Each structure stands twice: as structure tokens, then as C-alpha cells.
Amino acid sequence: MTAPAGEDVLIRFEGVVKAFGEKRVLNGLDLDVHRGETVVVMGPSGTGKSTLLRHVIGLLRPDAGRVLVDGNDMATIRPRELRALRERMGYVFQDAALLAWMNVADNLALPLRETTDLSEREIERRVQEKLMLVHVPGSDERFPSELSGGMRKRVGLARALITDPEIVLYDEPTAGLDPEIAMSINLLMRELRERTGTTAMVVTHDIGTARTVADRIAFLEAGRVHFQAPPDEFFTSDDPRLVRFLGHQGSRA
């Protein structure tokens, strides 16, 4: 299926509606993410930020409207194409979602072992490369439960990157981390983007994250993008709703 979307729009939400039972979480949401761009999505808890990300990777389908990823309509995409598309995406889960019964190296190797024909030697090489990239060397043999929260998130990030995805989706990559570790993750996201030119959507409450990685920030409320702008403009906006949100955030930080 071809999209009417402009050439460099990689992810497009068009009037997306999604309800869980009675509750309309997304309500006619429009948003474009361009190739190579990092869009940060902010908003109060429970406004549907994770729901938004889940649409991009085909875990949820919109009730109305369309989600287009590289021209594929995610509501009608066939399993085989969805598979191919997912191979080009990485999803960083809020709590890392590593398999508890596998050590770090096996967790990273799993997607390669399961979905590719790469040799064990090549897999090992890539695992080490990604562990270096996220600055967690030498923890191959450790199990997720033996890692600190920050390390778990980094390993989760490494796993999302193991297939060298073009699109990376981050769900609250710094939530629950102390400021120092949070900043190191922010820098990691930026470094990655600069190094490989990945397109990214980052859901976060963390103003530091938004400032560090965003090309553009979208503020979500009542199931729509209430306001979007580049970081400078976003943080100096006098939109009353935004001021209230950021003020509240500021007092917490």
C-alpha cells in the first residue's frame, strides 16, 4: 500500500482514534515524524503516550484514522510485511522487559538467533559491539535481576539496537533513574542518533531528555497533540496548559 505521505515522512498518524472499552485514549491524533528526526512525546500520565508508540510497531490497531509507517498502513499490513517492518524497528521498554531466565548476552543474542541465520561467531561479535555501545561491557554472564535499574535500561536499549534498526521507539527511557544515570542515557540516545541517523520517537516525562534529544516536542493531551514545537520554542511557550505542565514538572525536578 502506498502512502500519500510526503517523501521524508517516515511515521504518520492521521486522525487516530483508539478506545479501550468506554475510554477514548487517542481522539483524532495527528503527528508526523520525518526520516532522521527525533520527536519527543510529552504529556501527563495516562494520556496515551505508550498507546501511541504501540501503534507504530503494530501492537495496537487504530479504531479510526490511519497509522502509516514508511507507507505501510498498520491497520491492514500483512503479517509477513509487519515482520519485515518490525525488523527495521527497535522498541525500548520502560522496564527493559529482558527475559529474566537468560543472561545479558543471551538476551541480546536471542533476536539474532531466532530470526536470522547469522553464525554464532557473528552473533557474539554483534552482542559485544552493542554492549560496548551502551557502555555495559563485561556483564554478559549476569542475569537481568543482578543488574541495577540503569544497567537494565541500557541492556534493554542494546537489545533494541541489536538488529541495527532505522526506527527506535523509546518508552520512558529514563523513568525511575537518578539524574546522573538519566543524563547518561540521554547522551547515549543522542550519540546513537548522531552516529547512525536513526529516526526516533521518545516518550518521556523528563525535561532533560526532551532538551537533550528532541528535534521537536509534541505535547499530548485529551488524545491529541495539543502543541508541538522545537525544544527552544516549546520550553519558552506561554501556552497556559503547557506552562502548568512544565511548571509542575519543574517543581519536581
Ligand X SMILES: Nc1ncnc2c1ncn2[C@@H]1O[C@H](COP(=O)(O)OP(=O)(O)O)[C@@H](O)[C@H]1O
Q: Determine if 253 is a binding residue for another protein (CB under 8 A).
A: no
Query: Given the complex with ligand X, which of 67 and 162 has the nearer CB atom?
Result: 67
C-alpha cell at 174: 529514563
Residue closer to ligand X, measured from CB, 30 or 106: 30
Please state, in angstroms and rounded to a whole number, the distance separating the CA atoms of residues 149 and 144.
9
Could you write out the DSSP letters of every residue in 88-117?
TEEEE-TT----TTS-HHHHHHHHHHHH--
Q: Is 50 in the site for Mg ion (CB under 5 A)?
A: yes
Contact between 89 and another protein (CB under 8 A)?
yes
C-alpha cell recorded at residue 175: 523513568
Q: Which position among 64, 110, 183, 229 is part of the footprint of another protein (CB under 8 A)?
A: 110
- 198 touches which of ligand X, another protein, Mg ion, none (CB within 5 to 8 A by kind)? none
Closer residue to another protein (CB): 103 or 249:
103
Residue 193 CB neighbours (<10 A):
18
Q: Is 40 in the site for ligand X (CB under 6 A)?
A: no
Q: Considering beta carbons, is residue 108 or 182 the nearer one to another protein?
A: 108
**Opening angle at CA 211, ends 208 and 212, nearest 5:** 85
From candidates 70, 73, 87, 140, binder to another protein by CB under 8 A: 87
Q: What does the per-residue mask of binding to another protein show for 42-71, with x meaning CB under 8 A? A: ---------------x-x------------
For 231, the enclosing helix (H) or strand (E) is helix 231-236
Question: Strand 64-69 and strand 167-171: pairing?
Answer: unpaired
Tell whether residue 229 is a contact of another protein (CB under 8 A).
no
One residue of 17, 30, 34, 94 binding another protein per CB under 8 A? 94
Q: With beta carbons less than 8 A apart as the criterion, state whether 92 and 169 touch.
A: yes
Residue with Cβ nearer another protein (93 or 227): 93
For residue 227, what are the CA distances in angstroms to 79, 200, 243? 34, 19, 12
Q: Which of 111, 149, 208, 231 binds another protein (CB under 8 A)?
A: 111
Q: Is the CB of 42 or the CB of 85 nearer to ligand X?
A: 42
From candidates 38, 48, 96, 245, binder to ligand X by CB under 6 A: 48
For the chain, the distance separating the N- and C-terminal CA atoms, rounded to the nearest angstrom, is 45
Q: Check residue 51 for interaction with Mg ion (CB under 5 A).
A: no
Residue that the C-alpha cell 512525546 belongs to: 41
Sign of the four-CA dihedral 166, 174, 213, 237:
positive
User: Residue 126: helix, strand or coil by DSSP?
Assistant: helix
All three cell numbers of 60: 495496537
Contact status: 50 vs ligand X (CB under 6 A): yes
User: Which residues contact another protein (rule: CB under 8 A)?
Assistant: 57, 59, 83, 86-87, 89, 91, 93-95, 97-101, 110-111, 114-115, 159
User: Which residues contact ligand X (rule: CB under 6 A)?
Assistant: 20, 25, 45-51
